Chain A
Amino acid sequence: MSKFKLFSLLALAFTGAAHAHDRWILPTHFSVSAEDKVWIMADVTASNETFNVDKPMGSDRFTIITPNGERSRPSSSYRGHRKSVVDIHLAEEGTYKLYLDSDVSYWTSYEVTGKEGTQWLRNTSKATRADKLPKGAKNVTTLASQAQVMTFVTLNAPNDNYSLTNNGLELKPITHPSDIAQNEKAQLQLLFNGQPQQGVEVEIIKDGARYRNDLNALKVVSDKNGEISFTLADAGRYLLVAEFKKPLTNNALADEMGGQIFFTFEAVLN
């Protein structure tokens, strides 16, 4: 996919349009057992049909945080027309964080007479928007946005390798991701710039969306401690999508700061 298309997807996501694309990393295994080392693979895609792949998100910035906190990269990758695939060598016991590294991107939205709906200028901050906005542009807002596409995989015993940066919207597991299980309460915390964030909207979508009439997304909102809790009746693979936006004051580059999280996990059979 061209960069432009990906940015378009991002823009759509923030407009809340019906065709906003989800993104995910889907590993072949969330939990593995081995005497020593083991290989797993993961798919990277942008799609609106959990977990049927659609568009090939690049894996150029696929990042692995090993259980002892070191940054690593996939051993090899393949970019197909519907997904990218990476090979990951798990060489030490514990939990690996897998995510797509990303930068803050700036989006300026506006409305203008003669064009229907909200218009978007990509890669346009408050500092650079004046030159790019057409005459008569109104309701001009610049959003600084960042997305975390992430998952965790565990070899043998888990550890709390969550690798938080205290930057933007982040997910901090309370229940270890490898301990999310059918019919057991799971708890996660949402942080914004390192602080617990109330009011983050979260949707949890079960695998196999294509094969049922109702999406049946579980919707939850983070409480005053930034926490959400949920109990899943079915074992299986899930995509958690979290979104949050808040106004910025006295910021030279943006009026709002927004974050998205796409977190893939499995609920283990009990």
Chain B
Amino acid sequence: MIKKWVVLVVALFLIGKAQSTEIELSINLAKQTGEYHNPYVAVWIEDDAGKSVRTLLLWREGAKWLKDIRTWWRKVGRRAPELVDSITSATRPAGDYRVNFSTNDDTGQPLAQGTYSLKIEVVRENGGRAMLRQKFSLNGQAQSYTLKATPETNIIKFSIKE
């Protein structure tokens, strides 16, 4: 009996912890020279089997261009029209963007502890593409990552706040 109580208390504690966990992302879209179209950006989280569990962010234009966010479209977007509608937002010009997210999955349930990958895909019409990946663990520990610059992105900072 006591054992059961202990399990329950620990479980509640973990759920409480999970709900307070936050992802902070600071994306910096690089300035380009010449003809410039705002990039399409998708940021999502995959579990350790490579399956998407949460799309955090989607900056996009019309449906015609969704396919150009190649990896996100193949793995996530094309099978999830409601999700696409609910998280869609307009594209942004070059600059620094700070965004915060809960560590919930697409259905609003807290993500279980474990290993995940943060994926960031940045695609510019008549320009380049960047695909950034960062492994992380949800393990109750605060973490902070710096993703090195690409031609499409300046340094991106990504942290898990417990």
Contact = CB atoms under 8 A, between A and B. Distances in A.
Contacts, number: 40
B81 interface: yes
Interface in B127-142: 129, 131
Contacts of B78: 31, 33, 154, 156-158
Contact of A31 (B63, B65, B67, B129): B67
A188 interface: no
Contacts of B67: 29, 31-33
B74 A181 contact: yes
B64 interface: yes
B143 to A, nearest CB: 25
A179 B65 contact: no
Contact of A270 (B62, B64, B71, B81): B71
A157 B79 contact: yes
Interface in A145-186: 154, 156-158, 178-179, 181
Given A33-B67, A33-B78, A156-B81, A270 B131 contact: yes
A70 interface: no
A178 B81 contact: no
The interface residues of chain B, by DSSP majority, are classed as helix
B125 to A, nearest CB: 14
A269 B75 CA distance: 12
Contacts of B64: 33-34, 38
Given A157-B79, A269-B129, A33 B74 contact: no
Interface string B14-25: 000000000000
B70 interface: yes
Contacts of A32: 67
A35 interface: yes
A268 interface: yes
Interface string B40-66: 000000000000000000000011111
Interface of A: 29, 31-35, 38, 154, 156-158, 178-179, 181, 268-270
22 contacts: A31-B67, A31-B74, A32-B67, A33-B63, A33-B64, A33-B66, A33-B73, A33-B77, A34-B64, A35-B62, A156-B78, A157-B78, A157-B79, A158-B78, A181-B71, A181-B74, A268-B70, A269-B70, A269-B71, A269-B131, A270-B70, A270-B131
